[in-house]
Structures are given as structure tokens and as C-alpha cells.
Structure 1
Amino acid sequence: MDDRQLLVLFSDVKEGNRQAFSFLYEHTWRRVYDLALAKTRDEAEAKDILQEIYIRLWDKREQLIIQTNLEAYLYRMTKHEIIRRMETSLSVAKKTDIYRLAIDQLSHSLDSSLEAKELRLKWQDEIAKLPEKQRDIYKLHYEQDYSIREIAQEMGVAEQTVKNQLVTANRKIRMVMEASLLFYVLTLYN
């Protein structure tokens, strides 16, 4: 199917034609998937990206103005989604490492300090509050240094599920720990 035919099909999609959307998907999904797979080297992640791209295409169909090349537009969407996911993943991992390092440093330098002990207990308490599956994944990854792939194999789940659980767990813990660390720093310097 050439660019002109895809644009005609997309104009039907813009009007809410689900059959046209299915037809469009069937003619374009492979390139989106191949790009996502080539960049992520992870089938589950590539499938998630593929799904996200077409959900977003459907949800924003009325606002989109594509005048020349639909496949190039899908390519750009895919590229941006891959970058967004990488940034999110790195950001969450970096923040978690910073909090763990801060807690470890506080514990080592102020081992007898009540505040440092309370901070560590708070962190452990927040881990204990996580849902069981999420807690198990978190502990395997951060306390036993399992890779995402190893956790997925151990628990019989997709690697993307492990990643999602880690992101969610880190977000929950980070929210509480940011407040606790801020309080600790403020009391330390007052």
C-alpha cells in the first residue's frame, strides 16, 4: 500500500472508522514493531511500544494532521516512545540509587544516630507495605541483585511485567522517602 492510499485510509480513521483503523494497523504494524524490537532488543517491550503507538494514534486521530507520509509519522512516534521509556527507566533507577546511597551514607556516617536508623526503618517499612508480588520483585532486584531477566524467569512473568512492577514500587517508595529525607536534612541543619 503506497503513501497516498495510507493517507486516504487515515482520513477514514480520523472519522472514527474502526474497520479502517484495523486495516491501517494490518498494513503498518510490522515496521513499527521491527523498529521497536531493533532498538529495545526485547520482544515484550517492542509489543508494548507497538500497542502504545496504535492506542495513541486512535486516541489522537481527530487532532492529527498528517499530509505526506503516515509511515514516517509512525516511525517518529515509535522513536519518541522508545526515548521516553528509556528516560523514564533511567530516571527512576537513578533516583532509587541516589536514595539508597543517601540512606547507606547516613547509616555509615551516623551509625549511632537515631535519625539514620529511623530512616532505614522507614524505608524497610515502605518495602513491607508493597503488594507481595511487587515486594518480591523489588527485593530480588535491589537486595539480591537479580537482573530483570532473572526475575522474570524465576517468577514466570514477562520482563516488561518486572519492569512495570519495579517502576511502580520505586515510585511508591520514593514519594515517602523524599519527604522523610527532606525532614531529616532539615532537622540535621537546624
Structure 2
Amino acid sequence: MLTCAQRGDEQAFAQVYQHTSSAVFGALLRIVNHRAEAEDLLQDVYMALWQRRLVFDAQRGDVLPWLLTVARHRAISYLRKRQHATLDDSLMSSLPSDAESPPDVHEKKHDRQRLALAMATLSAQQRQAITIAYFGGFTYSELAQTLGVPEGTVKSWIRRGLARLRAMLEY
């Protein structure tokens, strides 16, 4: 169906859109946290697909996980561009406020360093699954589809990874 859509078949493209757009939109909304921006990104993903800039290889997997991956990459790129555009604002917001004392700032920095060191001890699969699940807002099933592994495997990676983090971060 997607191959036909990429060749210009409007009905096939409409079917692909109808079957996948709600999941793709949901993933985009979880990443950018703004409805209008998610709608713009959704349009961008499907316009690129229609204009044949995106090439799907059916031998590598199903359409939905592929579209979710494309959408995720587009959303992250968008957030990075937006972050660079507002660098001055983010720099100002990263400075400690008057309410934060130097010891509080030092403690937060120390906590971030401890977390980074603990994350580095996880396997690549655990680190990726935890990061995508918690910072990308993916459900277990969405994460399993995106990574191309069974849902139980994703749950195990996350459960074992969190247990390891908990053990390493206990005082």
C-alpha cells in the first residue's frame, strides 16, 4: 500500500494516512508537547512521504514503526532547532535563580553527574529504552514497535535498568 502511495496513488496514500496518522500524531505530541507544533510536524512527515523524499523499504519492517521513527527524528530535529533559536532564553533560564542557594545548585549538579554515571553502566538497550520511554513519552507497545522487539523484552530492559539505577543511586 505504501509503495503505491509513494508512486502517486492518492487513494493508497489516504489509506496509509488514515491507518497511521493518529499514532504518529500521538508520538509527535508527546515529544513536542504542543498541539499546533505536532500538527505541523505531522504534515511535514506526510508531505515528505508524498513527495517521495522518504523511501520505505518493506523488507526492513512494517510501515508504522518506520513512520514513528521518522516522526521522532523530525520532532527531535525541530526541538533542537527551536532550542538553538532561543539559546539566550535557555541560557538565562539555566542560571540559578535568586531563590537557589549555591549549595542547592551544587547538589543538583552532583545529582545530575551521579545519574549520568549510573546511566553509563546500563546496557545500550536499557539506556535507550529508559530514555525513550521516560523522556520521549512512549508506551511499552510503542517502544517495542519502534525498536522492533517484543513488548516483554522492552519491559525487562526497563525494569532491570531501573533496578540497577535505583541500587546505584541509593545513598
Q: TM-score range by the shorter chain?
A: 0.3 to 0.5
TM-score computed with the length of structure 2 as normaliser: 0.48
Larger radius of gyration: 1
Q: Which has the higher contact order (CA 8 A, sep 6+)?
A: 2
